[in-house]
Amino acid sequence: MTDQPLLVAEGLAKNYGARIGCRDVSLEVYPGEVLAVVGESGSGKSTLLGLLSTELAPSAGRVLYRLKDGALTDLASLGPAERRLLMRTDWGLVRQNPAEGLRMAVSAGGNVGERLMAVGWRHYGDIRAEALDWLGRVEIAADRIDDDPRSFSGGMRQRLQIARNLVTRPRLVFMDEPTGGLDVSVQARLLDLIRGLVAQMGLAVVIVTHDLAVARLLSHRMVVMRQGRVIETGLTDQVLDDPREPYTQLLVSSVLAA
Amino acid sequence: MSAAPDPAAPDPATPESDAAPAGPLLPELAYNFAYLDEQTKRMIRRAILKAIAIPGYQVPFAAREMPMPYGWGTGGVQVTAAVLGPDDVLKVIDQGADDTTNAVAIRGFFEKTAGVATTTRTSEASVIQTRHRIPEQPLTERQILVYQVPIPEPLRFLEPRETETRQLHALAEYGLVHVKLYEDIARHGHIATTYAYPVEVAGRYVMDPSPIPKFDNPKMDDCPALQLFGAGREKRIYAIPPHTRVRSLDFDDHPFRVQRFAEPCAMCGARGVYLDEVILDDRGGRMFVCSDTDHCETRQAEGHHGGMWGGAPGAAA
Ligand SMILES: Nc1ncnc2c1ncn2[C@@H]1O[C@H](COP(=O)(O)OP(=O)(O)O)[C@@H](O)[C@H]1O
Ligand SMILES: [Mg+2]
Ligand SMILES: [Zn+2]
């Protein structure tokens, strides 16, 4: 980690009509850092992730990102072409529902190769070799390369989604409940895999989860959300072992009691 | 103002205006020239001009109901109606043939509604409306080729959302087209797409050339004729201006190739043309003949003969 943040959010807010999605969120993400966003259902985690990843437009505030040239840049100042290029090269976005993050009618190899083709790869053999390499890294057997994800289990789909996102070696990956809906044993394997890749590639990750065990396992720092606001933030171990806010204490104790 | 032109009267630019001056419409004036009213034709011409200005870009237009069902080339018919003048000579082909029901119906439609001359000879036509083929005989700058298009969007098969495909075109993000080609190779060992093979036009927009065989793709490149594409159901017009670069997309290690036929046309002996398989009997007998019937007949009339010319195999030898 360096002392220069990769991503900076300033005073972010999002209203859905009269309803508040999130409000007054400021945070920083450093290179190689995993930041967990935790909180109960409806607390605004997904909304915040949508704002950070520019999938949602903020009602107030802004998001800045350190581009490859080193300049911290307001993402709203980028044109749509630049922003989309950034999203498919320097960023990844792993969705909770893999059917939304994958092309279900396209083979595993095509899913992984898409980003490469999108950035100009035009050699079939090279694309295939790279796809095979990535399937190996996410522990999908090479002989599944031409199968489409409809025939994959939930855990495999999620691993494929990760490979599809990491193939361009992004610096920052957003994940929304990547282990949600999976069996406990499948979850554990996926978490190990994510942890290994993150460390190996030095990825910065913003991961949304309602599961404090996931935050504990993966993240360096965490923010706790409630009713659209960040109510507590700090190093993961500190927050979990010594929560300051009564609400966080409740969250932690209910997990420990479970 | 009594001198104001009667809005119901035919447009003075049309031949009907030579008929008796404005009065009650006579039964034979029930159609405006080429069926569509002048305002609609002007609207379509504006779309065509825009399409020519932005080669390969799909221009929306307010398609009209035509007296024929979708799938019968209503988009092509509207484009033809908008570009046709009284002196034009029209040819209509369907899969290369002038005598299919579809081709005969459209030709008859314009004979009746526009009174234009029609032909089956590629060289004599000034406007050629086509479904699924480009004529074998090279086109010239005095000709317009009008394609009937069922699905204008080349990204549709992988991205059904129209809002998204529009973005992809706007930003020239065409990775998806290669995903489709990748899938072809992964599943078949080669690019198995043989119809509606995607092309890049003038180095910018990726375009669906309509379901012509990829054999015809090279004919679009640097073609002297104006090429217009009309999709009726989807209300889109696009164009390739004369002498525009048209490139079929491919991979470096799987370059674009056209189909090759082992034998020449059984009727006219032509090589390097697109052939259709014709079943001769129920014992597996078959032959390959030009899909472009005008090309085949012209060659036969010029004295070129294939193995089956004049009757049974061997008879012509
Ligand atoms: N598209 C939307 N339209 C209206 N309200 C929304 C929308 N998305 C989220 N919300 C509301 O915003 C609040 C935060 O939701 P969300 O960000 O999905 O929370 P979380 O991911 O923590 O469960 C909730 O009250 C939710 O009902
Ligand atoms: Mg959520
Ligand atoms: Zn022939």
Question: Between vectors from CA B253 to CA B248 and to CA B259, what angle results, nearest 5°?
Answer: 50
Verify whether ligand 1 is closer than 6 Å to residue A44 (CB atom).
yes
Residue B59 maps to a domain: yes
Q: Is residue B281 located within the same domain as residue B214?
A: no
- The pLDDT assigned to A254 comes to 81
Closest ligand to Cα B288: 3
Report the C-alpha gap between B179 and A101 in whole angstroms.
Answer: 16
Q: Is residue B108 located within the same domain as residue B239?
A: yes
The larger pLDDT score, comparing residue B70 to residue B2, is at: B70
B194 in A contact zone (CB under 8 Å) = no
Does B179 contact A115 at a Cβ distance shorter than 8 Å?
no
Nearest-CA neighbor of B81 among B122, B112, B124, B56?
Answer: B112
Domain range for B235: 38-163+194-247
Question: Between vectors from CA B244 to CA B241 and to CA B245, what angle results, nearest 5°?
Answer: 150
Q: Is residue B242 located within the same domain as residue B284?
A: no
- pLDDT tens sequence across B138-170: 999 999 999 999 999 999 988 999 999 999 999
Q: Is residue B243 located within the same domain as residue B264?
A: no
- Count of A–B CB contacts within 8 Å? 55
Does B175 contact A119 at a Cβ distance shorter than 8 Å?
yes
Residue B17 scores a pLDDT above 50: no
- The pLDDT assigned to B68 comes to 83
Q: Is residue B144 located within the same domain as residue B236?
A: yes
A245 in B contact zone (CB under 8 Å) = no
Using 50 as the pLDDT threshold, list the residues of chain A that sit under it: 1, 257-258
Using an 8 Å Cβ cutoff, are B77 and B114 in contact?
no
Q: Is residue B233 located within the same domain as residue B286?
A: no
Verify whether ligand 1 is closer than 6 Å to residue A96 (CB atom).
no
The mean pLDDT value for B284-308 works out to 95
Q: Which residues of A touch B175 (CB under 8 A)?
A: 114-115, 117-119
The residue nearest atom 1 of ligand 1, judged by CA position, is A16
Q: Is residue B199 located within the same domain as residue B293?
A: no
Verify whether ligand 1 is closer than 6 Å to residue A95 (CB atom).
no
Residue B22 maps to a domain: no
Which of B225, B247, B269 corresponds to the end of one domain?
Answer: B247
* Mean residue pLDDT across chain B: 90
Residue B33 maps to a domain: no
B167 in A contact zone (CB under 8 Å) = yes
Does B175 contact A107 at a Cβ distance shorter than 8 Å?
no
Which residues, in sequence order, are bridge partners of residue B246? Answer: B201
Q: Is residue B149 located within the same domain as residue B93?
A: yes
Residue A85 CB neighbour total at 10 angstroms: 17
Report the C-alpha gap between A155 and A183 in whole angstroms.
Answer: 9
Residue B29 maps to a domain: no
Q: Is residue B143 located within the same domain as residue B288?
A: no
A128 in B contact zone (CB under 8 Å) = yes
Element (H, E) at B80: helix B74-83
Residues 6+ apart with CB under 8 A from B150: B71, B210, B211, B231, B233
- pLDDT tens sequence across B47-93: 999 999 999 999 999 988 888 887 789 999 999 999 999 999 999 99
Residue B178 scores a pLDDT above 90: yes
Residue B60 maps to a domain: yes
- The pLDDT assigned to B29 comes to 54
Q: Is residue B242 located within the same domain as residue B283?
A: no
Overall domain count for chain B: 2
Determine the distance in angstroms separating the CA of B61 from the nearest CA of chain A, rounded to an integer: 26
Identify the CATH number of the domain in which residue B231 sits: 3.40.50.11310
Task: Tell me what percent of the residues of chain B surpass a pLDDT of 70.
Answer: 88
Residue B238 maps to a domain: yes
Residue B291 maps to a domain: yes
Given B182, B185, B252, which is nearest A117 (Cβ)? Answer: B182
Using an 8 Å Cβ cutoff, are B244 and B202 in contact?
yes
Does A106 contact B167 at a Cβ distance shorter than 8 Å?
no
Report the C-alpha gap between B166 and B158 in whole angstroms.
Answer: 13
Task: Tell me the residues surrounding ligand 3 (ion) with CB < 5 Å.
Answer: B 265, 267-268, 270, 290, 296
Q: Pairing relation of β-strands A221-226 and A229-235?
A: antiparallel
Given A107, A118, A125, which is nearest B183 (Cβ)? Answer: A107
- pLDDT tens sequence across B200-230: 999 999 999 999 999 999 999 999 999 999 9
Q: Is residue B216 located within the same domain as residue B277?
A: no
Element (H, E) at A174: strand A172-176
The larger pLDDT score, comparing residue B112 to residue B12, is at: B112
Which of B203, B222, B247 corresponds to the end of one domain?
Answer: B247
Residue B135 maps to a domain: yes
Verify whether ligand 1 is closer than 6 Å to residue A43 (CB atom).
yes
Q: Is residue B101 located within the same domain as residue B220?
A: yes
B256 in A contact zone (CB under 8 Å) = no
Amino acid at B48: I
Q: Taking CA atoms, what residue in A is nearest to B189? A: A124
Q: Which residue has the tokens 């609207």?
A: B43
Report the C-alpha gap between B313 and B315 in whole angstroms.
Answer: 5
- The pLDDT assigned to B5 comes to 41
Residue B23's pLDDT band, with cuts at 50, 70 and 90, is very low
Report the C-alpha gap between B53 and B69 in whole angstroms.
Answer: 30
